[in-house]
Amino acid sequence: MFNTRIKIKEVIQSDRVDYSATVMGWVRTFRNNQFIALNDGSTNQNIQVVVALGMLEETTLKRITTGACIKVVGEVIASLGKGQKVELKATSIEVLGDSDAEKFPLQPKKHSLEFLREIAHLRFRTNTFGAVFRIRHSLAFAIHSFFNQKGFVYVHTPIITASDAEGAGEMFRVTTLPLDGSAPKNDDGSINFKEDFFGKSTNLTVSGQLEGELAAMAFGDVYTFGPTFRAENSNTTRHLAEFWMIEPEMAFCDLEDNMNLAEAFIKYIIRYTMEHNQEDLAFLSQRLEEEEKQKPQSERSEMSLLEKLAFVVNNDFERITYTEAIDILRESNHNKKKKFQYLIDKWGIDLQSEHERYLVEKHFKKPVILTNYPKEIKAFYMRQNDDGKTVAAMDILAPGIGEIVGGSQREERLDKLTERMKEMHIPTEELDWYLDTRRFGACPHAGFGLGFERMVQFVTGMGNIRDVIPFPRYPKSASF
């Protein structure tokens, strides 16, 4: 019976000894035909399986190779070896799956992240990615737990949509029409999408926000947590073509309520992983420390990974306006000595990651929430402030990564919203369903978006966003 097995984490963490146990997992190493380091993914720690000399036939011994999957029945005993409280004295070993040791790419040595990205289907079996993806799981669980405790309704918004929530235009088209030039055409030569599967032009979603607002106008508090897509030809360590977004929308909520919820949310999910993934975080913190030693002193982080997480959880976030931020940045020595790649010379420019990190890490030395951005650099749905220049937007900036949350109070006034849409050339007829929320019982409401992979990257300390999603999608790459 397979369901009689005990997970290795449970065996290792218990002080119990002198009992029979069945474990199953993948061989990491096999030394002297006596000591098997076995791992089943429940923890980064291996259990040592002790094989008595002469217990196994020679043919079985040869099959116990790195990567092989085995079932071990034995006695859990106190270990005399260093670094382990218990070990498993085998009474029987069955090879469940063979592995050709010479061809198995994950040899018992250190591999580069670039190499592991090429074999993403096997990188789960390494300590680094074991820790990363267990933490990713914990963060996802904590997200649902937080919103559930606050009475939010989880809404699944569509992945295929006819709207562009951000007005960005960088979308993946969804079509069943032939690509060989034989698709039906209109008189002007454009594609006739009335003949397509949905009878109109459709795309993969860039955000579930607009649909989330519809649900918030009935349930009050809702959130989405699903995949989103950007056809942006960006090859950076911070961008993916497919990523997951958490987007709460709250009726009867203004910008301050929005900031309060976002701050509480971030602290909750980080605190949850600090409590439930101590071993994984300690491993990744040590890994990051070794990585930092390879960098020049000036580029090294002032805080360890665990210190950075505690820094966010234990500090009230600093709240300042965009205008105040521009003044701080413009007058900073960093700007005056031209240490910024993008110099701050005027009000109205979009802040870069280097500016955001300066505010957090150098100036305030705590997370920062920036509010009231110029309307020209923000989306059409954000509530316009009385000054006619800014909108009730907010971004949360975190150490090491810059912007981690973007949100706003939404424009609930129909006339202001339609006026803004016309200014930005967003067709009101295509979003008539969205405008109905302003026609029939509009109310002040707000929401924000958190890129899940950015948060996983922040909590794990991984330098490249492609290393915090199992199968990354980016330009020229859609493997697996």
Provide the residue ranges of all domains of the chain, joining segments of one domain with +. Answer: 2-108, 127-171+206-467
Contacts with 307 (C-beta within 8 Å, 6 or more apart), sequence order: none
Q: Would you call 450 helix, strand, or coil by DSSP?
A: strand
Measured between alpha carbons, how far is residue 137 from residues 12, 62, 134, 140, 467 in Å? Answer: 21, 36, 5, 5, 14
Contact 37, 46 (CB under 8 A): yes
**Alpha-carbon torsion, ordered 351, 357, 359, 364, to 10 deg:** 160
Q: Enter the tokens of residue 38.
A: 């076995």
Instruction: Write the burial class of residue 65 (CB in 10 Å: 0-12 exposed, 13-18 middle, 19+ buried).
Output: middle
User: Could you please report the per-residue DSSP string of 367-427?
Assistant: -EEEEEEEGGGS-TTBPBPTTSSEEEEEEEEETTTEEEEEEEEB---HHHHHHHHHHTT--
Q: What angle do CA 239, 373, 158 make, to 5 degrees?
A: 50
pLDDT of residue 166: 62
Nearest to 273 by CA among 88, 458, 473: 458
User: What b-and-e string marks burial along 386-398, b requiring 16 or more CB atoms within 10 Å of the CB?
Assistant: eeeebbbbbbbbb
pLDDT at 167: 58
Identify whether the C-beta of residue 437 lies closer than 8 Å to the C-beta of residue 213: yes
Per-residue pLDDT tens listing for the chain (480 residues): 567 899 999 999 998 999 999 999 999 999 999 999 999 999 999 999 999 999 999 999 999 999 999 999 999 999 987 778 999 999 999 999 999 989 999 988 889 999 999 999 999 999 999 999 999 999 999 999 999 999 999 999 999 998 766 655 689 999 999 999 899 999 998 999 999 999 999 999 999 999 999 999 999 999 999 999 999 888 888 889 999 999 999 999 999 999 999 999 999 999 999 999 999 999 999 999 998 888 888 777 778 999 999 989 999 999 999 999 999 999 999 999 999 999 999 999 999 989 999 999 899 989 999 999 999 999 999 999 999 999 999 999 988 888 999 999 999 999 999 999 999 988 888 899 999 999 999 999 999 999 999 999 999 999 999 999 999 999 988 888
Per-residue pLDDT, 1? 55
d(CA 346, CA 348): 6
In sequence order, which residues have a C-beta less than 8 Å from that of residue 231 and are 6 or more positions away?
Answer: 170, 171, 172, 241
Give the pLDDT score at 3. Answer: 73
Q: What is the model's pLDDT at position 195? A: 92
Torsion of CA 226, 229, 235, 239, to 10 degrees: -30
Per CATH, the number for 2-108 is 2.40.50.140
Q: Where are the alpha helices (DSSP H) in 161-219?
A: 209-219
In terms of Cβ atoms closer than 10 Å to its own Cβ (0-12, 13-18, 19+), residue 289 is middle
| Residue with the two structure tokens 């949350």 | 405
Distance from C-alpha of 353 to C-alpha of 347, rounded to nearest angstrom: 17
CATH number, span 127-171+206-467: 3.30.930.10
d(Cα 461, Cα 468) in Å, to the nearest integer? 10
477: phi then psi, degrees, rounded to nearest 5: -145, 115
Asked if 216 and 249 count as a contact pair (C-beta separation under 8 A), the reply is yes
Q: CB burial class (10 A; 0-12, 13-18, 19+) of residue 474?
A: middle
SS3 at position 48: strand
Name the DSSP letter for residue 124. G
Dist. CA 475–CA 235, nearest whole Å: 7
Question: For residues 43 and 37, what is the distance between their CA atoms, to the nearest angstrom?
Answer: 13
Residue 39, pLDDT score: 97
Residue keyed to tokens 């789960």: 124
